[in-house]
Structure 1
């Protein structure tokens, strides 16, 4: 039996994610192009890949019951075929026979005839009951309320707890399940017209918060991007706001010198470059990873401004330039808990034990950036994570280190001023001006933005 191309692409991508730590959002478009999938097949491959990866924890609980064995005892290739099949049975309108038969064929191709019999038995067991019955069954296995939420909403327990604490800091703990549901929904494509270089198409709908954001009512985004020669791009509205918060926090003086310290993959760099060009500033970028530095160069190719891109550790790069910059963006490496809609595998790759090492790096990067500011200069500290240790905790530690030499500018006020409509940013419990965006409230990634001025 021949597996449909869309399912084959989805399976191969899922295997690469688990075998090689590939990123689905980077690999899948290339795989779709190489396979020559039609628009409808590309959409199916995307849904199957992202949906399977997002809800992996839920599907693993179902598979463990149906197979009567722990998932770590199942051959990895067979397990991925089962996950793909269970996703189709529980969360799509794909016919049961197609979901079962083609997933069985994927298991056979991965591990042989015996594996196909096992996969067939498991998937037919799953297909006999409704998704609702399976969800009730796995919820009954939970030993605590957090574990129940984890199993039914497909987020690790430590992530559930971290997100609840972050919401509670705004008095919104009761919104946890709404946030988890939003994390499991495919985000709409949001685009940015680089300021001063491109305009929104006439038939596009302006996004509510970013002055350069829009969404297409229909049509192919790639066609719009190609026509604009790199001056229109796909970019989450929260990412747009993070860059604009830095450039518009205070009026720009001609001749300012800016630095994007952790620039990869370059979306925010492109916005900064357009803003620098419009206001007579200069911009430099830095990215420690050569591959991501290449993405930065590609992202800024459509901006007629020379932007040198260095490839250093950001702590070293900033440390070599004490007191030289007027504005610095620190888009720090983080857990990525704010972008789980777009990077579905991220929730399964990190653990609570990873947070201390990340926060130590974040503190060092932000501290080095402050040291590279001129008096009066501003640094934007940005994470695509709402985790309080990575956001408020890092800022508080750096402010303690610098004392009265550092003051906070209200990023919440800046973001609100950028918006056509109220972004509904609640005051932070720590009394800071940090702006925290949310998927379920703003339809953006859960971006955290803090602005600090050296005085």
Structure 2
């Protein structure tokens, strides 16, 4: 783990102390400085530019950029924290930049703005000496926008270095209303802050009186880098194998470990797809579905399982391993050809093991909304890992908070309802359906389940909390009022996964 990650530099609390120490100012004129930033910083900037201007995803773009630059060790750690910390705290940093530059950030060139955001994060979030952050920012600005931009960046960075983090927070964070204060201080769009407040109350983990305090804890948790969690897919890899490779035990899942340093791909089990990167909340959802009681088939045939939206293959990989252990067959369905290929790659060792065991694992491309009509009552267990806004995974995908808009819910809502209805149709009487999202937003979770159940009399909700807690190796509480379950980053250290379990009536 990099020094920057250990310090939690992306958090709103900051790593910069409240005392005023000696300040080192750059004595180098802008024209005499380096004409381009160093490799870790220029690599981070390339990723930020790809995210902001090409729609790239940082978690996919950064590993490629690190490989191209041949960065490893502390340099890779620095570039990683600089990229993710800048993205997380973009909202706060934009307010600081606007104050220091005496102009709205919308008036700044996009490349210059990315450079300044990185500069602010180095000074206020990473304990980088001010003169070093300023010199490197000027060099990067010169490389992306010319000498005039370099002068502007030099002036703004000087002004930013004149105040401590706490002083900047006092200057730019409004005291009221609470939503506006938290939006700036914790660097989330206002609409996301409002939606998460409603979700905390709606899922029963906060009251109207306690919501603001709990909300601040949740938003702060989004600004702390998530641990790298791996799953040892049962029957294909063991936890002991991963522990022997340097990992540490996980907290909730019996198959989870945490990787404190190094790249997951350095582990043989991960390279072979016998183990994979997977959040513990995601693991627990698959385990809960596999453990849910179903009515045995009258013909004594093996169970058939369906992962309706299997891409990119994380939950499908664990479900495939569990299906093999329970002598069941699995169909992993994905609507996108590209993502189907990812699922097939993830399930490669399970496909081999299934052939040796005489079981069937199928990876296919298809529209999940049509599964219920094409294969009515064909499956015993069906997972709907529905497309969603991803507001439960903001620790891992920090750009999502800025990229997503309230209007996205308009398109996702009907799709989520159609997928759940199709999953119910594809489940035989006595079987179980799991509806899951990586978002706590009420419009993507309880409202979807409620609306689908209103139109049907052939399905009923069962207590997901009991099965989720039963799958955990430690006492798991704070899951809400039921029957559905919601995991939270600030309570459980997992992504914000939602789970509803439904039983098809016989």
Asked if Structure 1 and Structure 2 have the same fold, meaning a TM-score greater than 0.5 normalized by the shorter chain, the answer is: yes
Distance 1:227 1:125 in 2: 46
- Asked whether the equivalents of residues 228 and 260 of structure 2 are also in contact (C-alpha less than 8 Å), the reply is no
The equivalent residue for 2:133 is 99
Three-state SS of the structure 1 residue aligned to 2:483 is coil
**CA distance in structure 2 between the partners assigned to 1:90 and 1:401 by the alignment:** 53
For 2:345, which of 274, 298, 303 is the aligned residue? 298
What pairs with 1:306-385 in structure 2 (closer than 5 Å)? Answer: 307-385=361-439
1:439 to partner: Cα distance? 0.5
Provide Cα deviations, 1:89-136, integer angstroms capped at 9, x if missing partner: 110011212211111211111111111111111111111111111111
**Number of matched pairs:** 450
**Cα offset, 1:188, TM superposition:** 1.1
Counterpart CA distance in 2 for 1:217 and 1:105 is: 33
* Residue aligning to 2:114: 80
Residues 184-223 of structure 1 mapped to structure 2, 5 A cutoff: 184-201=223-240, 202=243, 204-216=247-259, 221-223=264-266
Rg comparison, structure with higher value: 2
What residue in structure 2 maps to residue 422 of structure 1?
A: 475
Indicate the residue corresponding to 1:15 in structure 2: 49
Q: CA deviation at 1:144?
A: 2.2
Task: Determine the structure 1 residue equivalent to 2:280.
Answer: 237
Q: Does the CA-based 8 Å contact 1:261-1:318 persist in structure 2?
A: no
Within the alignment, does 1:165 sit opposite 2:218 as a pair?
Answer: no
Within 5 Å, which residues of 2 pair with 1:211-290? 211-216=254-259, 221-226=264-269, 229-250=272-293, 255-290=302-337
- Match among 153, 176, 187 for residue 119 of structure 1: 153
Q: Does structure 2 conserve the Cα–Cα contact (< 8 Å) formed by 1:323 and 1:375?
A: yes
Equivalent-residue separation in structure 1 for 2:236 and 2:410 (angstroms):
41
Larger deviation, residues 47-56 vs 27-36: 27-36
Deviation of 1:353 (Å): 2.2
Query: Could you say which residue in structure 1 is the equivalent of 2:171?
Result: 137
Return the offset for 1:168: 1.6
Q: Which string of whole-angstrom CA distances, capped at 9 and with x for unpartnered residues, describes residues 60-86 of structure 1?
A: 111111111111111111111111111
**Cα drift, residue 316 of structure 1:** 2.3
Q: Deviations over 1:367-423 (max 9, x none)?
A: 1111111111111100000111111100101111112x1111211000111112211
Deviation per CA, 1:197-254: give whole Å up to 9, x if none.
Answer: 2211345443222121122465653332447722111110011111111111126966
Deviates more, 1:101-110 or 1:12-21: 101-110
SS of residue in 1 equivalent to 2:456: helix
224-233 or 279-288: bigger deviation: 224-233
Q: Is the 8 A contact 1:376 1:453 kept in 2?
A: yes
Distance 2:193 2:112 in 1: 28
Partners of 1:225 and 1:164 lie apart in 2 by 42
Task: Give the aligned partner of residue 433 of structure 1.
Answer: 483
Q: What pairs up with 1:177-188 in 2 under 5 angstroms? A: 177-188=216-227
Aligned residue for 2:398, secondary structure, equals: coil
| Contact in 1 for aligned 2:205/2:478 (Cα 8 Å) | no
Q: 1:206 to 1:226 in 2, by over 3 A?
A: closer
Q: Name the SS for the 1:322 alignment partner.
A: coil
Return the offset for 1:302: 2.3
Q: Report SS of the residue matched to 1:420.
A: coil
> SS in structure 2 opposite 1:338?
coil
In the alignment, is the contact (CA less than 8 A) between 2:284 and 2:472 conserved in 1?
Answer: no
Say if 1:163 and 1:285 are closer, same or farther in 2 by CA, change over 3 A.
same
User: Please, which runs of 5 or more residues in structure 2 have no aligned partner?
Assistant: 1-33, 355-359
**8 Å contact kept, 2:295–2:431:** no
SS of residue matched to 2:173: helix
CA shift at 1:320, angstroms? 1.7
Whole-angstrom CA distance in 1 between matches of 2:339 and 2:411:
21
TM-score, normalised relative to structure 2:
0.86
